[in-house]
Amino acid sequence: MLRKHALLAATLTLLTSFSAAAATTVIVHPSNAAALDEKSVQRIFLGKEKKFSDGVESIPINQVADSAVRGDFDENVLGRSSAQVSAYWSKLVFTGKGVPPKEVSSDADVIELVSKNPSAIGYVDSASVTGDVKAVSLN
Partner 1 sequence: MKKVLTISTLALAMSTAANADVRINGFANLIGGITSSDDTLYGYDDNIGFGEESLFAIQVSGDINDRMTATGQLVARGSDDYEVDFEWAYLTYQVTDKVSISAGRLRLPLFRYSASLDVGYSYHWVNAPRAVYDVPFNNLDGVRVDYNTFVGDWEINLQAGAGTYENEIAGGKLEGSNTLVFSAEATYEWFKVRGVYGRSNATLEIPDLAPAFAQMQQVSPELAGFLSLNDDSGTFLGLGVEVDQFDWFVSAEITSIETEESFSPKDVAYYVTAGARINKWTPTLTYESLDGNNDIKGLDIVAGLPAQLQPAGAALAAGVQLPFMEEYDVITAGVRYDYDTNVAFKADVSKYTDDIDESNDATLVRVAVNYVF
Q: Which residues bind partner 1 (CB under 8 A)?
A: 39, 43, 48-51, 59, 65-66, 79-88, 90-91, 93-97, 99, 116-119
- The CA distance from 95 to 79, in Å, is 23
Contact 26, 123 (CB under 8 A): yes
Cβ nearer to partner 1, comparing 15 with 127: 15
Minimum distance from residue 47 beta carbon to partner 1 (Å): 10
Beta strands across the sheet bearing 59-63: 102-104, 59-63, 120-125, 24-28, 134-136
Minimum distance from residue 70 beta carbon to partner 1 (Å): 9
Cβ nearer to partner 1, comparing 2 with 95: 95
